Amino acid sequence: MADKPSTPQVKASLGLVGASMNAMALIAPGAFLWITYQLQAAATSPSGASVANDIWFGIVVALGIAFLTALSYAELARIYPEAGFASCAYFAEKAFLDDAGKKRTTGPAELARIAKLVTGWAAHLFYWVYPGVMVAMMAELIGYGYNAVTGNTLSNVELVVVGTVFAFVVGYVAYRGVTGSTLTSIWINVIQWISLAVFSGLAIWYRWSDPASASTLPSGVAGAITHNQWAFSSAWDVIKPHSLNGVLIQSTLAILILVGFESATALSAETKEPEKNIPKAILLALFVQGVLAYLLEYFATGYAISDHLVNVSVAAAPAAAAVTGTATAAVAAVPASVTTVATAMAAAGASSAPIGDLSQLFGATMLHGIGFGLMITIGITVAIAIFGTTLSCFNTAVRVTNGMANDRELPDFLGFLHGSFATPHTALWTLVVVSCVIAAVGVQSVVGLTGITLASNFGTFILYGLTCVWTIVAFKKRPDFSFFRHGLIPALGIITNVIMLIAIIYLYAIGNADSVNEAKICFYIAGAWGLISFLYVALTSVKKTYSMKMITAIIRPEKLDVLVDVLKEEDLILGMTVTKVKGFGRQKGRVGSTAADKITFVTKLRVEIAVNDWDVPGVMDTMREVLNTGAAGDGKIFVMDMKEAMRVRTGETGVYAV
């Protein structure tokens, strides 16, 4: 006889610290300061004017928007601690079921199911695209470090190999279970906090000490600047709003670095007292990483930027125009290349890694010339933070997928759990492969990677806006309804998320040719995912509508009457076949002191019910509620495909016969 596979056991092993640390790792301020500061420093208004001086206050506005959504998530997590892996998809369905006073979805076109599917579509667009973006960024970061150390450049093929190895290493850590992932996330958070504290301290010290030294400038511009000319005149100048237009533009960029706080909801099945700890974890993650980490590091960075931050770029000169005559052709003499020097915030916007440049400047002026070593050290901590955010998103994505697969909305194989680690391993390795493919596309060009990132952000804002809607639906009829917490806050969350969604697409659509192409890539990905999802749901819904299942249950005889009454009350059966049987299960029929090697046949009833596919979850849930006593011998339930049926009197076939 083959060995019996062990039953996966999802254990509640995490406390508040564990749940919040996983969410904090996804927000990853240690990674996104390095990754996004160039984009924020280069941002311009539609008129072309720089809005870099509104970076800090843009983050403040984005934090306000994020907290509106976080509070909605926290309220849903409080009343639906049983959501398990399904997280946001469960919130959507349960909100409408509670509103309608129903226990479960019973048809393909019910509003509760539609809400669940739309939420699931947005969640997968966010969670399944985001890791691929991080894999590509890690490959690019390693390529940057390799170039800084050796002077050589990795090819795109080599970057793809680097990204693939990284994805599988992170996937393996996630595969080993949530406990190992949580310990990894704790260490990663501690490392990036220390790194950010050191970097921020050096930045503020640099401003206060004002080490003016022309010798630290790049070759070719030494002596051009002899004293620091600060990008911001004072600390107040860093944090104050300078223009409404600038704040709005910077907030649309800043909101993208704050997402991930909601990932704690996917850990509710693995968290002790989830109704208390998950809401706290959501808000704690956003407060620590958003308010404490981001505001400090962005203040310190802006405070330290001066004209001693220099970026020198050399580009080939435009080709000379040919002058054609009847006898000769003269070519105008032009320089072979054009050198452009940018300083201060313009240099930050022009550099591929402005935080790395600042690290070199700090080390060169204040730490006895160890600028390159400091830059490499900071870069390593950034890589560690990217590892953490990728790991956290892997864990969140596959749990949401697993929850929806177990709800029979996704292919069955995505709902499998590993027998030892209780991780959704089939979904995980599928996601790892998808992330490698996305990264392989992303490393080919900045435009492609940005377009893919926009698609993930597109899903994020749709998901956040929908969650705010579900909060209103879930609470509007509850006795604990609060106009402020369950009406005003989610309503503002809906409005601001919609504004952010429109603003991001608008800003890219009116930009240069690359920005327009990036917006197109975003819409292509979101549209393709929407079409695939629609076709899958439509086909599986039709299949379920016209397919039948035979449910066979072995039960205690004394439970029959209660079972029939409940199934009838729930309107789940139109008929039933009952047979008296004898048999044994894992206990071999043993009761009390019966000899261990003796098999006893126990009298049971076999109940058979033919149902439409849509009714299977309802019948099984109801049976378990009625039949479960917690003691050995409660029975088993089997579900089998039924190819055909006929009602003899009328000749009706298929689902019409049952």
- At 554-574, the pLDDT tens digits run 999 999 999 999 988 888 888
pLDDT in tens, 397-414: 999 999 999 988 999 999
Q: Which of 612, 603, 614 is nearest to 560 (CA)?
A: 603
pLDDT in tens, 486-519: 999 999 999 999 988 888 777 777 777 777 888 8
- Residues 6 or more apart whose Cβ sits within 8 Å of residue 442: 132, 133, 135, 136, 448, 449, 452
Q: Is the pLDDT of residue 120 over 80?
A: yes
- Residues 6 or more apart whose Cβ sits within 8 Å of residue 6: 419, 420
Domain ranges for the chain: 16-537, 546-657
Looking at residue 165, its pLDDT comes to: 96
Q: In what order do the strands lie in the sheet with 548-555?
A: 577-583, 602-612, 548-555, 636-642
Looking at residue 311, its pLDDT comes to: 78
pLDDT band at 394 (very low <50, low <70, confident <90, very high): very high
Place of tokens 């049983």: 82
Topology at the third CATH level for domain 546-657? Alpha-Beta Plaits (3.30.70)
Least confident of 2-16, 78-92, 434-448, 524-538: 2-16
What average pLDDT does the structure give for the chain? Answer: 87
Concatenated DSSP letters of 172-217: HHHHT-HHHHHHHHHHHHHHHHHHHHHHHHHHHHHHHH----GGGS
Q: Which of 647, 652, 658 is nearest to 547 (CA)?
A: 658
Looking at residue 481, its pLDDT comes to: 94
Mean pLDDT for the stretch of residues 417-422: 88
pLDDT in tens, 29-76: 888 899 889 888 988 887 778 899 999 999 999 999 999 999 999 999
Q: Quote the CA–CA distance of 174 and 425 in Å, as a whole number.
A: 9
Would you say 386 and 31 are in contact if contact means Cβ atoms under 8 Å apart?
Answer: yes
Looking at residue 219, its pLDDT comes to: 44
| Pairing between β-strand 322-324 and β-strand 329-331 as defined by DSSP bridges | antiparallel
Q: Quote the CA–CA distance of 207 and 287 in Å, as a whole number.
A: 27
Looking at residue 597, its pLDDT comes to: 66
Looking at residue 484, its pLDDT comes to: 95
pTM: 0.87
Looking at residue 329, its pLDDT comes to: 47
Looking at residue 424, its pLDDT comes to: 94
Q: Quote the CA–CA distance of 625 and 620 in Å, as a whole number.
A: 9
pLDDT band at 214 (very low <50, low <70, confident <90, very high): very low
| CA count, 13 A, side-chain hemisphere, 654 | 5
pLDDT in tens, 160-174: 999 999 999 999 999
pLDDT in tens, 314-341: 665 555 444 445 444 444 455 556 667 7
Would you say 576 and 609 are in contact if contact means Cβ atoms under 8 Å apart?
Answer: yes
Would you say 500 and 258 are in contact if contact means Cβ atoms under 8 Å apart?
Answer: no
Would you say 337 and 316 are in contact if contact means Cβ atoms under 8 Å apart?
Answer: yes
Topology at the third CATH level for domain 16-537? Amino acid/polyamine transporter I (1.20.1740)
Q: Is the pLDDT of residue 625 over 50?
A: yes
Q: Quote the CA–CA distance of 578 and 605 in Å, as a whole number.
A: 7
pLDDT in tens, 376-392: 999 999 999 999 999 99
Task: For residue 317, give the DSSP letter.
Answer: P
Q: Is the dihedral of CA 195, 196, 202, 203 positive or negative?
A: positive
Q: Quote the CA–CA distance of 467 and 69 in Å, as a whole number.
A: 8
Mean pLDDT for the stretch of residues 519-540: 91
Mean pLDDT for the stretch of residues 97-126: 88
Please state the φ and ψ torsions of residue 585, each to the nearest 5 degrees: -125, -140
Looking at residue 125, its pLDDT comes to: 93
| CA count, 13 A, side-chain hemisphere, 137 | 25
Q: Is the pLDDT of residue 286 over 90?
A: yes
Looking at residue 586, its pLDDT comes to: 78
- Residues 6 or more apart whose Cβ sits within 8 Å of residue 263: 22, 23, 26, 392, 393, 395, 396
Amino acid at 631: A
| Both tokens assigned to 440 | 């392989």
Mean pLDDT for the stretch of residues 470-483: 94
**For the chain, how far is it from start to end, CA to CA, in angstroms?**
37
| Separation of CA 74 from chain center | 17
| Both tokens assigned to 77 | 């997590």
Amino acid at 620: M
Mean pLDDT for the stretch of residues 274-303: 95
- Residues 6 or more apart whose Cβ sits within 8 Å of residue 360: 371, 372, 374, 375
pLDDT band at 545 (very low <50, low <70, confident <90, very high): confident
